[in-house]
Structure 1
Amino acid sequence: MNLEKILAISGKPGLYVLKVQTRTGFVAESLTDGKKITVNLKSNVSLLSEISIYTYEGEKPLTEVMQRIAVKENKGQAISHKEDNAKLTAYFKEILPEYDEERVYPSDIKKVLNWYNTLQAKGLVTDEAPAATSTSEEIAAEEPVKKAPAKKAKAKKEE
């Protein structure tokens, strides 16, 4: 599951896909209705790939949590985020038994399940791993650098 270009925008419902960066912000497309909006740099925007869930051992990336939901549900819909809090926390405990119950609130669980169901409805729940960012050394090893032909400098003698 690749969440690299999936955004949550504060104050806006649903999830968005990053389309184009502009000088003053970017253009995003809603996953729910397909409408494009412009978002300025002052908006509070979160990339889903950068979000983590607190556990007792540290933090688990949201991608991994959603992958666990996908495995449990066989890539189908998860329970609704509108269920009561007791049912939601019991479900989340099955998915991520080590989550920190004091720092992960029912509202956080609702968001995760709502986001998962939105992504699943759009067919974005896949086995695809996020693309690893290559280091400059790996890129250099993969692609030989072609040297540009040397320009002949015109020699001018100033007297």
Structure 2
Amino acid sequence: MLKTILSISGKPGLFRLVSHGKNMLIVESLTDKKRVPAYAKDKVISLGDIAIYTNETEVPLHEVLTSVKNKENGAKITVPSNTNELRTYFAEVLPDFDRERVYPSDIKKLLTWYNILIGADITDFTPEEEPATEETTAETETNAEEKTE
């Protein structure tokens, strides 16, 4: 689901991808449902492509959002304004986040995005599985037959 949810620099909020045009995307705001174009010059990023740094690796955004949802029982949260409160809250959600590379502004943005998604009734953050092609399905069936013989 997060693959079609976009963040556009210079525009507040989050947007759902509606359509592709020539050299632009048609997007719809999740907050007010207005449709606007996003041009090639705009920096557009899919939430499905974002990950949060940890001390060991990177954690996909959908896992972090799911952790926030579980902590808050699916309800909106009050975003802390104090830097220490932000870091303390985020440590409860993702204990091993990299405190040097994840800034308080990043945490605040992530929590704001969470509230926008919950407000738009988007509560399933898990990525969609790619549909299996006929070739892949046939390969799987062949391998299963070989194992049973």
TM-score range, shorter chain: 0.7 to 0.9
Q: Give the partner amino acid of 2:114.
A: Y
Distance 1:131-1:86 versus aligned 2 partners, 3 A rule: same
Choose 1 or 2 for highest CA Rg.
1
Q: Give the alignment's Cα RMSD to 1 decimal.
A: 1.7
Q: How does 1:1-159 map to 2 (within 5 A)?
A: 2-80=1-79, 83-126=81-124, 129-134=126-131, 136=133, 137-138=135-136
The 3-state SS of whatever aligns with 1:118 is helix
Consecutive aligned runs of 4 or more in structure 1 exceeding 6 Å deviation:
none
Tell me which amino acid in the other structure corresponds to 1:125.
T
* Matches of 1:108 and 1:6, distance apart in 2: 17
Distance in 2 between the 1:3 and 1:26 partners? 16
Find the aligned partners of 2:37 and 2:11 in 1 and give their Cα distance: 12
Higher-helix-fraction structure? 2
CA contact (8 A) 1:69 1:78 kept: no
Aligned residues: 139
Work out whether residues 63 and 126 of structure 2, in 8 Å CA contact, stay in contact via their aligned partners in 1: no
3-state SS of paired residue (2:48): helix
TM-score, L = length of structure 1: 0.81
**Structure 1 residue runs without a partner (length 5+):** 143-159
Cα drift, residue 140 of structure 1: 6.0
Question: 5+ unaligned residues in a row in structure 2: which ranges?
Answer: 141-149
SS in 1 for 2:18: strand
How big is the shift at 1:79? Answer: 2.7
* TM-score with structure 2 setting the length: 0.87
What is the alpha-carbon distance in structure 1 between the residues aligned to residue 14 and residue 35 of structure 2? Answer: 12
